[in-house]
Amino acid sequence: MRRRLGRSGIRVSGVGLGCWAIGGPFLFEGKPDGWGEVDDAESVRAIQRAVDLGVTFFDSADVYGTGHSERILGKALEGRRDRVVIATKFGHTYDEARREIVGADTSPAYIRRACEASLRRLGTDAIDLYQLHLWSLPASQAEDVFATLDGLRDAGLIRAYGWSTGDPRCAELLAAASAGTAVQHPLNVFSDAPEIIALGAEYDVASVCNTPLAMGLLTGKFDAGSKLPSDDVRGSGHEWVAYFEDGRPRQEFLDRLAAVREILRSDGRTLAQGALAWVMARSPRTVPIPGFKTAKQAEELAGAMRTGPLSGDQVREIEGLLAAREPA
């Protein structure tokens, strides 16, 4: 199955893969922001296996492992570049030697340098979707970024651009005041984004959906006794990690998962595949980009395309079950 990245016309697989986890360890706000240690050879195998199974969309960022994710993605796609669509992001500054995010920069000169550095790491002549990686910016500053991105597109260094933000105000700015074609934002069974979905329909802008598995909780492999280590972003103490607290899954989300588990597992799906099917059903413009570390995980995630989106009745049943669990 294929979906279109908004008004760019670029077509991608119905499920993409997010390359945050394969970047390995790095720091943000002084705390671990990666997903623990990685096996680079296994990451390459996973990407190549995904391509063989029909995945054509891969999303990275220059700060994931402070360049490491892009390098691994570029290595894995050698000889396969014409079969895939590559997305990456910019906006944060980082110290590669210390593997640490240190600030932000959206000046035209920095954006161009960041783009050229990503092109080198990815081993490609053009980035298909280049995304601003800062949650919010003032309108005037964002418009300057859009103008710079228009210039990169005109120069052939990028094909299209977007904004990685869950802020509806910023999403509307991209949709209404630029030639941008995609908003990357959180979306999963536990966390809807109706305003951004509506903007996508109004302006023909795609939703590239991160955290579609609620940082792994929707795979079903965690229970009340699970505890992730402090070198994993879910256990490192970041306040914005919604589904885990100090490495432990929040009970409220385990309870919500229990309520909808059987619907997500319908038609022979695994829980993860059902969670992706919900995202695909949310709008014809949604493209989930779950993370991965292994070829086995990539196979399971790619398999969500075989059964496709949940039905409208299933989505409504999930909505009713979750609403019943909300406090009065």
| Active site residue ranges | 64
Distance CA 299, CA 284 (A): 23
- Helix, coil or strand: residue 272: helix
**Strand pairing category for 57-59 and 27-28:** unpaired
Amino acid at 311: S
- Residue 223 is classified by DSSP as -
Distances from the Cα of 118 to the Cαs of 114, 239, 274, in angstroms? Answer: 6, 29, 33
| Neighbouring-strand partners of residue 209 | 185, 288
User: Residue 270, class by beta-carbon neighbours within 10 Å (0-12 exposed, 13-18 middle, 19+ buried)?
Assistant: middle
Distances from the Cα of 59 to the Cαs of 3, 23, 87, 288, 307, in angstroms? Answer: 15, 12, 5, 10, 23
- Residue 250 is classified by DSSP as -
Distance CA 5, CA 31 (A): 33
Distance CA 131, CA 149 (A): 9
Q: What are the E-state strand segments in 23-70?
A: 27-28, 31-32, 57-59
